[in-house]
Chain A
Amino acid sequence: MKTIQRIPLQQIDLLDDTFSVNYLPDLQKLRSSIQEIGLIQPVLLRKKLDAYQIVCGFRRVSAMKVLGKSEIEARVFEEKEMDEFQLFSLSLHENLATRGFNAVEKAVALDKLIHRYQIHPTAVIKTFLPSFSLEPNEKILKTYLSLAQMEDEIKTYVLKEEVSRSNIRRLSALTSDDRLAVLSLISPLKLGENRLRELLTLLEEISRRNQSSAKEMIRQPEIQAILSQKELTPSQKAERVKKVLLILRYPKMHQMEKEFEKKRKGLNLPSNVSLHHSPFFEGRELKIEFQFETIEEYQSALNGLSILAEKKEFREMVNPLTLPLSPGGRGEG
């Protein structure tokens, strides 16, 4: 065990993040704790030529600085005492034992293991993923590595909204430009997990169908108009944006809905009577519902319904015209 030394804070290089995986650390609690009972655990440093590198304790060093302290208790490694990977492992294990990591920190750690320390992905999957309480498989590793490469704004959103791994994967499929555009859409909508999945899936599928970018779609005046309506709640905005996207994703269905609605209006049904088509127009059947509170309302609904069969528009809705097959006639052969 190394002896504890008191090291001046100004000799510690806070910008050297060789061993750091910190992302948006919450220093408030730590500061209060240090203020109340002082620093319990000394930090680990490595001596360099003109300064000290932090191996473990970035948050503690930052908190001490903010609190105006001039020195910190530390155990110090000499420059050549251990190699960088050993020190990084030490740092990971110490953090795992004490505070654990958020999703972005896991991503940064895995990214460093693979790209900086050249650890083979198979070894990372087998050894490190379980340490981070992640299932040891390639898909999970890829998800976190993609998160590590994302923009800071996206990383912050992922942490703040606790975005799931499947939605992180959806975000990773976008270009950087598209991702930031998507962020400008989803951020103000305050979406839950399922709604975020729905929106990301719609955006992805529409852009592939229409061969346009997510950014172009989001810039559409219709979507921008919804986002700028101050009187709408985030949930109302989300619902309206989804509607616009559904129309873009399912244009034929939308056209059929519109035609049905036009015909339905043409029937001049009493206000307490509603007419519905089968789900997704798959069946032929129509459904009529009516509501009433009084005998008069009941009678009025029945009167309205009794004359429906005479209306041409209604007959067309029940028996839509089918054109004969040409050429060749019967399919039976």
Chain B
Amino acid sequence: MFPFEIERIFLDEKAERDSVSETILKALSHVPVERVQDKRTLIKQFFSMPDPIGIGKKHLFVTHFYGRRLKPCPGTSNHICCGYYVINAITNCPMDCSYCVLQGYLNNPFLTLYTNWDDLLQEIDAFLSNDRQSFLRLGTGELSDSLALESIFPFSQFLIPFFAERHNGILELKTKSANVDPLLGFKHRGKTVVSWSLNPPRMIEQEEKRTAPLMKRIEAARKCQEKDYPLGFHFDPLICHEGWEKEYEETVIQLFKQIDPQRVVWVSLGGFRYPPKLKAIAEERFPQTEVFLGELFPGRDAKFRYLKEIRVEMYRKMAGWLKEADPDLFIYLCMESKEVWEKVFGWAPENSLHLNQLFEKRLKEFAK
């Protein structure tokens, strides 16, 4: 059962004969289908509607992707980034987080699923084969939620066995859902990290519409832990709000009541940040959102971030609570400067490459 509302499927005629399309149409057999020849006109028509982003989430566009599907995470200038690769399998997300950067980022409002699946697997295969020395991390959770569309099309059924056979690649399935049952039967050989983005319950309820509650996410993580999946957790975005300390500390406590920190391959921390145009879009869509009420200022990359002092305080406290569960937990900061790393941890990676090497080391240790 697909837990989100889809009002209509737009089927690109080029994708009509793909087996993936058949699977999708079968899974959503109750939803009307409209064949599309001219997607530009359709996109233009939707963008002229009052809430194209909200409406787009209820319209599934099934099409082909032309171009590279695998790209380095764009990161941000003047900051240390982790050398992650983004797999473009789905764009947009049926969940609706007030702070989601995709609201101002995508040039197509629809929840879009690309059916030329074989091309994607070939591209990933070629990419991993070309760089056998490195240990690469790839994920589907940057342009969508990795597991949200699982009941429409079982991506994991293809990706998890595919990565299980690769020696130098790790797949990360990043989610805010609790939809892990389809994953539990696969032989993953430790090559798929299932990870959750976490926030305190009040923030989830207020800022992360249509996502699973915290305890359901933790419960889903526990199920994956039982099946020996390496786990990841992302406290990103950390939202500075009244009572944040108590709420985040309690979230960490709840997490490690069910999760063995030894099974956690990485934890990331990232303060809420946003490109300038997001605020107007998000406030229009979520008049009650609190995410923009913090002390946020533009940085050198033009993105707004909390005042450095505030970020450092949040990271230090979070790192402290996390390390209480396990002093050896691998914690990293997402898109932060060397100075902030130093202030939080007392050390910093030399550069993005160094951080990438630390990930490799961590993954090799974890695999032992």
Contact = CB atoms under 8 A, between A and B. Distances in A.
A239 B25 CA distance: 60
B310 interface: yes
B329 interface: yes
Contacts of A283: 300, 339
B358 A281 contact: no
B275 to A, nearest CB: 16
B345 A330 contact: yes
Interface string B321-350: 011100111111100000101111111000
Interface stretch (A28-36, A265-273, A287-295, A321-329): A321-329
Interface in A276-311: 279-284
Contact of A253 (B290, B297, B344, B346): B297
A208 interface: yes
B347 A281 contact: no
Nearest to A139: B50
A75 B1 CA distance: 67
A26 interface: no
B293 interface: yes
Overall SS of chain A's interface: loop
Interface string A134-153: 00011100000000000000
A213 to B, nearest CB: 16
A173 interface: yes
A282 B344 contact: no
A208 B310 CA distance: 19
Nearest to B332: A331
B300 to A, nearest CB: 7
In this complex, the member of B333, B347, B362 whose beta carbon has the largest number of chain A beta carbons within 10 angstroms is B347
B299 A331 contact: no
13 contacts: A173-B287, A208-B290, A252-B295, A252-B309, A253-B307, A279-B297, A322-B343, A322-B346, A324-B346, A328-B327, A329-B327, A332-B358, A333-B331
A250 interface: yes
Contacts of A326: 320
B15 to A, nearest CB: 31
Closest 8 CB pairs of A and B: A328-B323, A331-B345, A333-B330, A280-B297, A328-B327, A138-B50, A331-B331, A209-B293
B308 interface: yes
Given A137-B50, A173-B287, A205-B292, A331 B341 contact: yes
A252 B319 contact: no
B310 to A, nearest CB: 6
Contact of B346 (A137, A250, A330): A330
Contacts of A280: 297-299, 307-308
B346 A282 contact: no
B363 to A, nearest CB: 12
A256 interface: yes
Interface in A168-214: 173, 205, 208-209
B316 interface: yes
B307 A328 contact: no
Contacts of A281: 307-309
A124 to B, nearest CB: 14
Contacts of B358: 332
Given A253-B297, A325-B320, 10 more contacts: A205-B292, A209-B293, A327-B320, A327-B323, A327-B324, A328-B320, A330-B347, A331-B346, A333-B328, A333-B331
A325 B346 contact: yes
Contacts of B327: 327-329
B347 A332 contact: yes
Contact of B329 (A139, A322, A324, A333): A333
A325 B295 contact: no
Contacts of B343: 322
Contacts of B322: 328
Contacts of B308: 280-282
A224 B343 CA distance: 42
Contacts of B344: 325, 331
Interface in A96-138: 137-138
Contacts of A253: 295, 297, 307
Contacts of A322: 342-343, 346
Contacts of B345: 325, 330-332
Given A280-B307, A281-B309, A283-B300, A328 B319 contact: yes
A132 B165 CA distance: 65
A326 B323 CA distance: 9
Contacts of A209: 293
Contacts of B330: 332-333
B50 A208 contact: no
B179 to A, nearest CB: 29
A256 B297 CA distance: 14
Nearest to A249: B295
Given A331-B319, A332-B330, A252 B292 contact: no
B347 A331 contact: yes
A282 B342 CA distance: 14
A53 B323 CA distance: 79
Contacts of A139: 50
Nearest to A169: B284
A217 to B, nearest CB: 15
A209 B293 CA distance: 6
Contacts of A208: 290, 293
Given A327-B327, A328-B323, A331-B345, A250 B287 contact: no
